[in-house]
């Protein structure tokens, strides 16, 4: 007689089969052994790829994780950006795009281990290196130090993050195998007590079951190296592998070796040439490490996009980062395999005893014809109201409770019968107006701080519009106040006058604020504005908000051609797409297809300079290498010297952006 299978048992068996098929059993323990990492007591080489979930639309997370797996990696490495999860003090966000727990569990679903790098400082060409801007409301704060307020806030953030992830350590059934303490602190200073305090905080909040490690360059790792942490090195394509680990092997001859950041490419700055790195050099370096039983994390395996206002700025000086974080990585900004991907996958297959999983299908790519953005509102309509803070002459964004965006500063001038020199330190891009006349601009990127003014009459109106392009993410200069920093002076003949009595009008970088501006101006057409608003046209020109629509018959990834626009931000269907700037090298903005819909789609642009033409076209490819002006040569000023031997080395001394 045949046995009868009850339907409920059959369904249960199918469910278990699906679950087991989707999720590879993870190990139970990950430890530091003699010359090797040990997974359940057996030697294990970490082959990690770094990705940043905030730089990938949540709808695409799983696809990018599958791409990392198909590349041949066994681990995903992630930064956790503090400012992305705590936009205001004690207002923590771990939902939606910020749901780091969901991302980690997706990695586990696809059989990938996870390395967590929770800061508090990250770098990553991310706004302020991941530190929240509101820390700067306490003007005397000492970042990345034992400053009591800073450490109090660090503890709160790390506790909140551990509440999301600590139960996903490997021994507890999750995929997390290692956690990093701080990040490349040797590029900032020497302070072992501070690094020790961060280590203690991580242990106190629950990171007790996985190895803790610290990373730095081979030239400076001893400055802050703690005896009870694993030490790893950061270096990039073309490095001499043996040289990078020589000193570490002298100090710890039996420690497992790991390159915790092997740079696959490099990032782009506005006004500088697009960066690329040779695929053969990258693959050769990784092959050599694998042959020598050295673990690695490829930074980046997939870069993604610094959507909205999240792109930072490099130091020395001020070098703002582009919106695209393509990084010349093996997986492109839009998630496509590149020639680097193919070469690396072929090499990593040789170090795997199983066939690598197939490369997942790509999301479709679309284009759309040029459309004109016909609705307009002058930039002043985006002002959030007059700031009423007590000190009218403290002009920083932070003091006036503005995190990102622009600020209008307005005051009256004295009578000066001769041309004068206006001096101000504007972070980061200032445009100066007297009455209804545009006088000139000051670009922090090229260290412009003075401007010649024409003779003025008493009571003439001085307007200064300052836009913040992104806080510095590297070195001591991360304490990067925005807006006008310090006094504004007029110098003429033998006199110097400090200008005071400022009215301050913030213009938040916010989609809701953009809609308020457009609706407040009644959505007038651009041509109506030019015909009927002569006073506004004289003062504001074409600086302002633009709105239009475009239609698509099918959704797919696309790239907005911003080459006819000046400088600002774009939003599509309410999503902050990122910054654009006519100087290049980036001329397009990546728009994920998951943020589009069939039929009509809305696009809003804030241009603080004004466009040549208010038109946009959707391309089926990016333009990342069109530099429209010569790269400025910024040399060290008096008192500045180079520090460090790696990319992004910093100046120290008394000049702008110097270490203090």
Alpha-carbon distance of 345 to 286, in angstroms, equals 11
Q: Residue 652: is its pLDDT beyond 80?
A: no
| Structure token pair of residue 416 | 């000066």
Domain 368-373+522-619 and domain 393-501, same fold? Reply is yes
Q: Give the model's pLDDT for residue 641.
A: 42
Q: Give the model's pLDDT for residue 25.
A: 61
* C-alpha to C-alpha distances, 288 to 34, 154, 239, 348, nearest whole angstrom: 20, 38, 11, 12
Alpha-carbon distance of 433 to 421, in angstroms, equals 14
Q: Give the model's pLDDT for residue 14.
A: 34
Summarize the confidence of residues 261-279 as an average pLDDT: 97
Least confidently predicted of 13-27, 209-223, 586-600: 13-27
Measured CA angle at 544 (ends 538, 546), to 5 deg: 125
Q: State the average pLDDT for the chain.
A: 91
| Structure token pair of residue 63 | 């696809």
Helix 100-109 × helix 61-71 angle, to 10°: 40
Q: Residue 270: is its pLDDT beyond 80?
A: yes
Strands (E), 122-204: 176-180
| Structure token pair of residue 347 | 């090499």
Q: How confident is the model at residue 587 (pLDDT cuts 50, 70, 90)?
A: very high
Q: How confident is the model at residue 634 (pLDDT cuts 50, 70, 90)?
A: low
Beta strands across the sheet bearing 429-434? 437-443, 429-434, 461-467, 405-412, 503-508
CA 576 to centroid of chain Cα atoms: 14
Q: When comparing pLDDT for 395 and 532, which is higher?
A: 395
Q: Which CATH superfamily is domain 368-373+522-619 in?
A: Galactose-binding domain-like (2.60.120.260)
Please name the residue that has the structure tokens 């000086």.
Answer: 317
Helix 279-291 × helix 339-349 angle, to 10°: 20
Q: How confident is the model at residue 523 (pLDDT cuts 50, 70, 90)?
A: low
Q: Residue 10: is its pLDDT beyond 90?
A: no
pTM of the model: 0.92
Q: What is the CA radius of gyration of the chain?
A: 26
Q: Residue 659: is its pLDDT beyond 50?
A: no
Q: How confident is the model at residue 633 (pLDDT cuts 50, 70, 90)?
A: low
54-68: per-residue pLDDT in tens?
999 999 999 999 999
SS3 275: coil
Residues tagged active-site: 184, 261
Alpha-carbon distance of 37 to 183, in angstroms, equals 21
Alpha-carbon distance of 534 to 545, in angstroms, equals 17
Least confidently predicted of 339-343, 528-532, 642-646: 642-646
Q: Give the model's pLDDT for residue 547.
A: 97
Q: Which of 338, 328, 334, 270 is nearest to 299 (CA)?
A: 328
Alpha-carbon distance of 466 to 482, in angstroms, equals 9
Q: Residue 375: is its pLDDT beyond 60?
A: yes
Strands (E), 500-574: 503-508, 544-552, 558-561, 567-572
- Beta pairing partners, 147: none
Pairing of strands 544-552, 575-581: unpaired
Q: Which of 228, 223, 153 is nearest to 188 (CA)?
A: 223
CB contact at 8 A, 232 and 179? no
Q: Give the model's pLDDT for residue 612.
A: 95
Give percent of the chain with pLDDT exceeding 70.
Answer: 91
Q: Give the model's pLDDT for residue 636.
A: 54
Q: Which of 631, 634, 581, 572 is nearest to 603 (CA)?
A: 572
110-136: per-residue pLDDT in tens?
999 999 999 999 999 999 999 999 999
SS3 530: helix
Q: Give the model's pLDDT for residue 390.
A: 87
Q: Give the model's pLDDT for residue 432.
A: 97
Q: Which residues contact 272 (CB under 8 A, 6 or more apart)?
A: 319, 585, 627, 631
Q: Which residues contact 445 (CB under 8 A, 6 or more apart)?
A: 270, 271, 317, 318, 319, 320, 428, 429, 469, 632
Q: Give the model's pLDDT for residue 637.
A: 56
Alpha-carbon distance of 215 to 125, in angstroms, equals 17
CATH class of 393-501: mainly beta
Q: Give the model's pLDDT for residue 522.
A: 77
CATH class of 46-349: alpha beta
345-367: per-residue pLDDT in tens?
999 999 999 999 999 999 999 99
* C-alpha to C-alpha distances, 50 to 261, 262, 264, nearest whole angstrom: 8, 10, 10
Domains in the chain: boundaries: 46-349, 368-373+522-619, 393-501
Q: Give the model's pLDDT for residue 632.
A: 73
């Amino acid at each position: 007689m045949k046995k009868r299978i009850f339907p409920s048992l059959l369904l249960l068996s199918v469910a278990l089969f699906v679950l087991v098929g989707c999720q590879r059993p993870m190990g139970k323990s990950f430890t530091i052994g003699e010359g090797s990492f040990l997974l359940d007591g057996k030697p294990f080489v970490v082959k990690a790829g770094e990705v940043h979930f905030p730089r990938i639309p949540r709808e695409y997370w799983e696809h990018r994780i599958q791409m990392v797996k198909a590349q041949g990696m066994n681990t995903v490495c992630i930064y956790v950006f503090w400012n992305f999860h705590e936009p205001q003090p004690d207002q923590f966000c771990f939902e939606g795009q910020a749901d780091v727990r969901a991302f980690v569990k997706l990695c586990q679903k696809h059989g990938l281990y996870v390395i967590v790098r929770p800061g508090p400082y990250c770098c990553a060409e991310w706004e302020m290196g991941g530190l929240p801007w509101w820390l700067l409301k306490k003007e005397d704060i000492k970042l990345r130090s034992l400053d009591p307020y800073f450490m109090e806030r660090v503890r709160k953030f790390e506790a909140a993050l551990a509440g999301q992830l600590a139960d996903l350590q490997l021994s507890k059934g999750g995929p997390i195998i290692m956690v990093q303490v701080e990040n490349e602190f040797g590029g900032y200073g020497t302070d072992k007590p501070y690094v020790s305090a961060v280590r203690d905080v991580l242990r106190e909040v629950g990171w007790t079951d996985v190895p803790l490690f610290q990373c730095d360059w081979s030239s400076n790792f001893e400055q802050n190296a703690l005896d009870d942490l694993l030490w790893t090195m950061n270096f990039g394509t073309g490095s001499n592998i043996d040289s990078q680990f020589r000193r570490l092997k002298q100090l710890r001859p039996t420690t497992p070796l790991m390159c915790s950041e092997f740079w696959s490419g490099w990032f782009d700055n506005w006004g500088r040439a697009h960066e690329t790195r040779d695929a053969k050099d990258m693959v050769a370096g990784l092959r050599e490490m694998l042959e020598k039983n050295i673990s690695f994390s490829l930074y980046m395996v997939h870069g993604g996009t610094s959507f909205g206002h999240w792109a930072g700025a490099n130091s020395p000086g001020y070098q703002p980062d582009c919106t695209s974080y393509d990084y010349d990585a093996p997986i492109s900004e839009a998630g496509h395999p590149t020639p680097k991907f193919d070469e690396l996958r072929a090499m990593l297959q040789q170090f795997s005893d199983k066939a690598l999983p197939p490369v997942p299908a790509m999301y479709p790519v679309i284009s759309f014809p040029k459309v004109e953005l016909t609705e307009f509102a002058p930039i002043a309509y985006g002002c959030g109201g007059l700031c009423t803070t007590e000190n009218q002459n403290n002009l920083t964004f932070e003091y006036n409770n503005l995190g990102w965006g622009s600020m209008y500063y307005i005051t009256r001038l004295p009578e000066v019968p001769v041309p004068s020199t206006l001096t101000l330190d504007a972070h980061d891009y200032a445009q100066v107006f007297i009455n209804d006349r545009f006088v000139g601009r000051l670009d922090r990127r090229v260290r412009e701080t003075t401007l010649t003014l024409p003779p003025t009459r008493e009571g003439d109106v001085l307007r200064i519009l300052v836009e913040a392009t992104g806080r510095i993410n590297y070195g001591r200069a991360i304490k990067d106040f925005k807006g006008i920093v310090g006094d504004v002076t007029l110098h003429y003949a033998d006199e110097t006058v400090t200008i005071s009595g400022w009215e301050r009008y913030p213009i938040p970088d916010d989609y809701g604020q953009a809609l308020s501006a457009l609706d407040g101006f009644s959505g007038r057409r651009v041509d109506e504005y030019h015909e009927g608003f002569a006073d506004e046209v004289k003062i504001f020109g074409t600086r302002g908000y633009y709105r239009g629509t475009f239609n698509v018959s099918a959704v797919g990834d696309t790239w907005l051609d911003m080459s006819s626009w000046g400088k600002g931000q774009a939003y599509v269907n309410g999503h902050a797409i990122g910054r654009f700037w006519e100087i290049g090298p980036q001329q397009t903005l990546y728009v994920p297809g998951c943020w589009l819909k069939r039929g009509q789609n809305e696009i809003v642009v804030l241009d603080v300079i004004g466009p040549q033409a208010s038109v946009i076209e959707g391309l089926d490819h990016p333009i990342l290498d069109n530099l429209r002006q010569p790269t400025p040569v910024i040399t060290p000023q008096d008192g500045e010297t180079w520090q460090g031997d790696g990319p992004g080395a910093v100046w120290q001394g008394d000049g702008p952006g110097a270490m203090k």
